[in-house]
Amino acid sequence: YADREGMHRPELTLDVYRRLLSEAKACGIETVEISGGDLFCRNDAFALIECTLSEDMYLTIPTKYPLSEDDAYRLAHMGLSTIQVSIDALSPPLIDTMVARSGYGKKILKTIDYLGEAGIQVRTNSVLTTYNIKDAVQLARYLAQKPHVFKCTFTPYGKSLYRHNDSLFCSPDDFIEFEKELSQIRDEFPHKALYFSGAPPDPYCGDEKERTSAFWERAFCTANRRGVVVLPDGKVTICEELYFHEYFIIGDLTSQTLLEVWNSPRALELAYPDQSLIPDGPCKDCPDFSRCHENLGRCVRDTIKAYGCNNPYWPDPRCPRAPVGNRMV
């Protein structure tokens, strides 16, 4: 869901970012998470990292960027202790095919070694698709043998908002076999954290009683409740996967302070929506509208995945009153 079309948008400047860090620290914010794109594509990436760490902020960075040995030591010298490397296979030719870049596979595998040599702990994330799920078992074993790789997460491919393809969904049998083989690797490396969430549940499955019970026991949605997402140009949204969807833009940090955005009319409208303004769909007359939105929150990301970008006010597809929409798993 990274914004591949937005490369010509103006980027948030380093000066504005420094101001934002100061405001965030004053509000008691302790963590900065980079997501939805690759920080190292910015020319000032190392300056952004250095100023974040100098404010004693905890910084989480995921990357697919092939870092050099010098890059790794530079990051370590700044005080970066951990980083996430996103890698989806062990076979370099397969990696090259998946990212459409010849020679990339060998470079990203070398990046993991460089980081370890520099003293940086590595966690990895791998997305399982029909292309790589069988190779991912070998990847898990390879990473488990690396002393500096402390955590590996394997995530099933799910519906993407902007670049989706049903052919990437794995089958239930694929997941069963992967889980079986990963369990064997866990037994061999009990000190390593090897995570697999399992096959994702189909939000439309189950009878009304089962769906109702599952829905009201769902996890709390943190969007617009515990944090905000700053987009590359300084605009602010509520969830990283929504990117520049205009309905969810709550402010602009190039012209507003962090608290002005957090307390903006649009942020409050999304947090406490007025049911009378819902134009159509199952939520329009739902008796549980306030309870649903104001307690655990509605997953608006899954809403537009299921019902399209033009229906942002429709229900979370897990809702027992929600109609069947796009395939999700």
pLDDT per residue as tens digits for the range 213-266: 999 999 999 999 988 899 999 999 999 899 899 999 999 999 999 999 999 999
The pLDDT confidence band at residue 71, using thresholds 50, 70 and 90, is very high
308 three-class SS: coil
CA angle 278, 280, 281 (to 5 degrees): 110
Position 306 scores a pLDDT of: 95
Contact (CB, 8 A) for 94 and 131: yes
Q: Are 79 and 46 in contact (CB under 8 A)?
A: no
Q: pLDDT band at residue 162, thresholds of 50, 70 and 90? A: confident
Contact 34, 62 (CB under 8 A): yes
Instruction: Tell me what the pLDDT averaged over the chain comes to.
Output: 94
The whole-number pLDDT of residue 198 equals: 86
Q: Collect contacts of 262-269 with beta carbons under 8 A, ≥24 apart.
A: 262/228, 267/224, 267/228, 267/238
3 state SS of 265 = helix
All structural domains of the chain, each given as residue ranges with its CATH number in brackets, are 61-198 (3.20.20.70)
Helix (H), strand (E) at residue 58: strand 58-60
- Cα 109 from Cα 253, distance rounded (Å): 37
**Per-residue pLDDT tens digits for 7-31:** 677 889 999 999 999 999 999 999 9
Give the mean model confidence (pLDDT) for residues 292-315. 94
pTM of the model: 0.92
